[in-house]
Chains A and B, each alone.
Chain A
Amino acid sequence: MDASLPAHMRPERSFQGFILALQTFWAEQGCVILQPYDMEMGAGTFHPATTLRALGPKPWNAAYVQPSRRPKDGRYGENPNRMQHYYQFQVIMKPSPPNLQELYLKSLAAIGIDSSVHDIRFVEDDWESPTLGAWGLGWECWCDGMEVSQFTYFQQVAGVECAPVAGELTYGLERLAMYVQGVDRVYDLNFNGRDGDAKVTYGDVFLQAEREYSKHNFEVADTTMLFEQFKMAETACKKYLDAGWKDGKREAHLMALPAYDQCIKASHVFNLLDARGVISVTERQSYILRVRELAKACGEAWIHTEAGGAA
């Protein structure tokens, strides 16, 4: 941890300080520090900087915060740590460096988790995203029995083999910050590291939003519109993919990113419909498959783009 930081910027006092400490650490490892993607998504993995950039031969090191929307996890602000909107901190390094575990442990030290007093463990957790057609092997990282991060060596993304393999780290920011700040309720997190009147808590920023969105997600979200949006996103995705092949030949693609946006959109709309409880068990599977088909087609398009490594 950087001892020169002013008190209100220290990761154990301030949520934003905590995020900044992680960003600084990974910037120093050569990562580009991106800003959140401007779309609603269920996890940081959906960000094209991970899903698409993980594919193809070109090296890629990036880190970013991504708000994650999980409509079903809303609890109207009543649950101490479950929310329909929270932050993930995502690191992706391709190819995975040989010392990625050490880097991860150093990043914990940078946010105030000292491995000489904490029990840090790598516990098997195979990662799979059925909607993204992706899987990898790795661990959930435990600190004193608490899962604080997800550590994955991507083997396949969007149906495409990763060559070379990228290493992905996902930190659950609120949970880690709660641990470091020693609070039991996420809304009690000190957001800005100030005291007294100047203090802003996580609850000040997000509690109302949690209440409003929980009501929206579970009770009010317009399902007719959402069903329509799903279809529109699906159709648009396919359309852009078709239109993106240069000269109509399947050799180079010019529109993988806009097409993939529609895939992200479809996935989020599906999550909303799921939270509204209007998708039956059997339909659920077919929706997941439909999103996966889009993701796979986007992956296929991406590897025919310049950043995807096409010659």
Chain B
Amino acid sequence: MPDLLLELFSEEIPARMQAKAADDLRRMVTEKLVAEGLVYEGAKAFSTPRRLALTVHGIPARQPDLKTERKGPKIGAPDAAVQGFLKATGLSSLDEAKIQRDPKGDFYIALIEKSGRDAIDVLAEILPVIIRTFPWPKSMRWGARSGKPGSLSWVRPLHAITATFGLETEEPDVVKFSIDGIETGQTTYGHRFMAPAAISVRRFEDYEAKLKAAKVILDPQARKDIIFADAKELTFAQGFELVEDQALLDEVSGLVEWPVVMMGSFEQEYLAIPEEVIRATIRNNQKCFVVRDAKTGKLTNKFVLTANIEASDGGKTIVAGNERVIRPRLSDAKFFYETDLKTKLEDRLPKFEQIVFHEKLGTQAARIKRIGRLAAEIAPLVGADVAKATRAAHLAKADLLTEVVGEFPEVQGLMGKYYALAQGEDASIAAACEEHYKPQGPTDRVPTDPVSVAVALADKIDTLVGFWAIDEKPTGSKDPYALRRAALGVIRLIAENALRLSLMKVAASALAGLSAKPADAEKLPSDLLAFFADRLKVQLREQGARHDLVDAVFALGGQDDLLMIIRRVEALGKFLESDDGKNLLAGIKRASNILGIEEKKDKRSFDGSPDAALYGLDEEKALAKAIGEVKAEASAAVAKEDFAAAMSAMAKLRPPVDAFFEKVRVNDDDAKVRENRLKLLNEIRSATRAVADFSKIQD
């Protein structure tokens, strides 16, 4: 079966867009083919800075013929109906129609055969639509045609389209169409500098090979492999080690069609700059890799660059040029770093008075004060020294005003640590300058030093309470202040450090420190708590744990100790996996359902203790006794925070509950007995509330 080769040749496509564009092209073309009844065997898409390419092989040469039957009017129907039928089906007379016998009256049937079209014609129809509607994140117009409405938009000017279709053994046909003045053909071009001439291609196999001969490696993965292998080899040969960087590798492979890896160096003196700053300078500005000494693990004064050309002088000029660019960059970085060291962190703080954190939440200075106060309050709860936590909170944001962080925002926090150490701060305080931003996401490391923990919690809780107070909560996909991440950070800090603190109290205290006073201030902490419950559910779901149990625990009310909530959820989860747990849950649900129905019927609830004198059956008595015992035992265990023991106590309810439902008819004819039994059922529900609200648990 024939294959399709499609290439869209343009000016340089941004590196970060290439992979998705190739994938979109493959998806859009193959989905359309399938929708047109052309089921293909395989497809693969590629990208380079100057082209998107797609090969689809094993496409049927023609669409299958379609046969459909269409029911027409009854025999003897009025002429208008017959004419309508003939017109709709394309039959010239009723002689061409079949007659179908039917007890309710015979009627005409038209057999319509729609013969399939040639695949190449279908392609000529679908490809221009795909090109016109291609989902580039940003696209543009260009050239003379852009003066008229409806001109083509593409990521950068599109110059040529190669589109061929045919069998391996034959000369393929061009899929003919024209889009915005570009006619499809089978001509592409090689490397911009090394082989710019036109190349005539037939199908994917010769296309890929001819491009390679013209110094273009079509497959981005192959380019990555070359860069990675060459960079490793080049560094290894000199006793060094490449500092691997996948994101950089992805980007660099999208900047070259013919990767040529070379190594350059810079002056030793720049190694006095913190390694992260050297790396940020070289990586962000120059898209080069840094290199470490294999023995010491420290950075060396080398870097690895990837050129797009085999230069006629062997690359000497290119290496020298890159060195000339990197030198002043590092010189700037060194200057920034040394300048920063001259000013103490606390001396930078007054400037924060001028910097607005958020219009409604005041200045950065105000925020730093709030975080300090909150960190001091949290410190004793997490085992941190109050003075150290206060000092750390005081200094933690100061590096935002340093030159280095101004230049490289990604080293915020880290520079704070370096500068704090340089001015002789305590190690915990310095660590907190870096770690108070952590954890930044579900996989980021959670700090364990109590000082870091106190400041990290204070920072995040101040953020959450602040934005809650001015009603800037996350909605749907919008979370501009990363409040979900902050809440998850709080959860992870508490859970992974096994911290005990009342979120309601801390939130109320954070709220008291705000100058912005929301209208419903008293509702805020519990509102925020519900947000934490949601985040906890999301986190548990992502870990594959049961998240409905979070609701069962939160529904008890008054729960704001996250660690205890998590422990309770874990114990509950384990319990519900056991037979006792499953059956007890079924029993409790049954009791709840009956109660629900009867409460509705009687329009009343059945609170209050049952009357022991009205128990007529042994099962009633046994259940009442068990409830009393279990309630006491579970409550005692919960008070000791031994949730496993509380669950074991619950398990003891199962036999009497089962026995009760087996032997006892709740809706007794005697109204008093009935009421008493309903009260007993209500007791089951209330006893189990010692551990969780079982009615919130999904089956």
A residues near B (Cβ < 8 Å) are 57, 80-81, 95-98, 101, 115-124, 126, 136-139, 143-146, 153, 155, 162-165, 167, 179, 184, 280-282
**A145→B326 contact, CB < 8 A:** yes
**B322→A124 contact, CB < 8 A:** no
* A162 to B327 alpha-carbon distance, docked (Å): 40
Q: Decide yes or no whether B61 CB sits under 8 A from chain A.
A: no
* A97 to B328 alpha-carbon distance, docked (Å): 36
Inter-chain contacts of B287 with A (CB < 8 A): 123, 145
Q: Decide yes or no whether B411 CB sits under 8 A from chain A.
A: no
Inter-chain contacts of A155 with B (CB < 8 A): 140-141
Which 10 pairs show the lowest CB-CB distances between chains A and B?
Answer: A144-B321, A164-B147, A124-B14, A122-B12, A145-B322, A119-B307, A165-B146, A95-B144, A137-B140, A146-B325
Q: Which of B300-326 contact A (CB under 8 A)?
A: 305, 307-309, 311-313, 316-318, 320-322, 324-326
Pick the contact of A124: B15, B288, B305, B307 (CB < 8 A): B15
* A139 to B142 alpha-carbon distance, docked (Å): 14
**B145→A164 contact, CB < 8 A:** yes
> Are A119 and B146 CB-contacts (below 8 A) given A98-B159, A165-B141?
no
**A98→B11 contact, CB < 8 A:** no
Additional A-B contact list (8), CB under 8 Å, known A96-B143, A116-B309, A116-B312: A119-B309, A119-B318, A119-B321, A122-B12, A123-B12, A145-B326, A179-B324, A281-B355
Q: Decide yes or no whether B255 CB sits under 8 A from chain A.
A: yes
* A165 to B146 alpha-carbon distance, docked (Å): 6
CB nearest neighbor in B for A141: B12
Indicate the member of B14, B49, B256 with the most A CB atoms within 10 Å: B14
Pick the contact of B324: A126, A146, A167 (CB < 8 A): A146
**B288→A145 contact, CB < 8 A:** yes
**B354→A281 contact, CB < 8 A:** yes
B residues near A (Cβ < 8 Å) are 11-12, 14-16, 49, 138-148, 155-157, 159, 193, 255-256, 286-288, 305, 307-309, 311-313, 316-318, 320-322, 324-328, 354-356, 359
* A179 to B316 alpha-carbon distance, docked (Å): 15
* A143 to B321 alpha-carbon distance, docked (Å): 8
**A282→B321 contact, CB < 8 A:** no
Inter-chain contacts of A165 with B (CB < 8 A): 140-143, 146
CB nearest neighbor in B for A167: B142
CB nearest neighbor in A for B181: A98
**B322→A136 contact, CB < 8 A:** no
Min CB distance A146 to B, Å, is 4
* A4 to B255 alpha-carbon distance, docked (Å): 37
Inter-chain contacts of A118 with B (CB < 8 A): 311, 317-318, 321
* A96 to B11 alpha-carbon distance, docked (Å): 13
CB nearest neighbor in B for A139: B12
Inter-chain contacts of B321 with A (CB < 8 A): 118-119, 143-146, 179
* A101 to B318 alpha-carbon distance, docked (Å): 21
**B193→A115 contact, CB < 8 A:** yes
**A145→B286 contact, CB < 8 A:** yes
> Are A163 and B11 CB-contacts (below 8 A) given A116-B312, A136-B140?
no
* A143 to B144 alpha-carbon distance, docked (Å): 29
Min CB distance B621 to A, Å, is 75
* A121 to B16 alpha-carbon distance, docked (Å): 15
CB nearest neighbor in B for A182: B324
Pick the contact of A145: B138, B148, B193, B325 (CB < 8 A): B325
* A282 to B364 alpha-carbon distance, docked (Å): 13
Inter-chain contacts of A282 with B (CB < 8 A): 356, 359
Inter-chain contacts of B326 with A (CB < 8 A): 145
CB nearest neighbor in A for B306: A119
Inter-chain contacts of B308 with A (CB < 8 A): 119, 121
**A95→B146 contact, CB < 8 A:** yes
